[in-house]
Amino acid sequence: MITVENLCKTYGSGEGAVNALRNADLTIKDGELVAIVGKSGSGKSTLLNLLGGLDSATSGKVIYNDVDIMKMNEASLADFRLRKIGFVFQFYDLLPELTTEENILLPAQLAKNKSADISALAERLGLTDRLKHYPSQLSGGQQQRAAIARALINNPDVLLCDEPTGNLDQKTGDDVMELLLQLNKTEKRTIVIVTHNPEIAARCERTIEISDGTLIS
């Protein structure tokens, strides 16, 4: 279970300070599929980054099973991200110098996870014949699927997706969304999706709306 308590994030200081997130309180149960929606600049991605430990909070707590990740040191947090969280970014963030296979296996290599099964994952995500290709040789959908595969390779408890379909056309976006829903249903994996697309949000179990850094519902 993920518990967010009184979470704040402010960028800058003084008059130019921007309150990206204000006193957010939130609970996400294990196996839940949650959509965070809101307009551009409302603080969706900030919340997701804080949930994933990619950013540090100005104040407040992010508790995963009784452990506040905001209090973790850099090395522990890195290890937490490696083993417990899977990220899917809007821009895929695959390393252009590595092949698809190497990109997918990167977290497994970092975690020295020898049991990672890329073949099954690649087959499931339709990437079998694209493993030796570089990201620049893949389509947007394939890149996003590769990013999802990379996020899943260490079998994390939580999948955090930042506008996973934002860069994709309708059809490809639907495919990717279908894949995430399936992962949630079949593997009971907790998935948090940041999106501004109401259709995607509607397919999730719960929707959290955020506006000007404040959680509305």
Contact residues for other proteins (CB under 8 A)?
A: 45-46, 49, 52, 54-56, 74-75, 78-83, 87, 89, 91, 93, 95-99, 101-102, 105-107, 109-111, 132-134, 136-137, 150
What is the closest distance, in whole angstroms, from the C-beta atom of residue 39 to other proteins in the complex? 18
What is the closest distance, in whole angstroms, from the C-beta atom of residue 80 to other proteins in the complex? 8
Q: For other proteins, which is the closer residue by CB, 99 or 184? A: 99
C-alpha to C-alpha distances, 50 to 44, 70, 108, 121, 139, nearest whole angstrom: 10, 8, 23, 28, 29
Q: For other proteins, which is the closer residue by CB, 94 or 208? A: 94
Give backbone dihedrals phi and psi of 192, rounded to 5 degrees, phi first: -120, 125
DSSP string, 168-180: S-HHHHHHHHHHH
Q: Is 50 helix (H, G, I), strand (E, B) or coil?
A: helix
What is the closest distance, in whole angstroms, from the C-beta atom of residue 73 to other proteins in the complex? 9
Contacts of residue 162, defined as CB under 8 A and 6 or more positions apart, other chains included, come to: 45, 48, 49, 87, 88, 89, 90, 194
Q: For other proteins, which is the closer residue by CB, 79 or 175? A: 79
What is the closest distance, in whole angstroms, from the C-beta atom of residue 176 to other proteins in the complex? 19
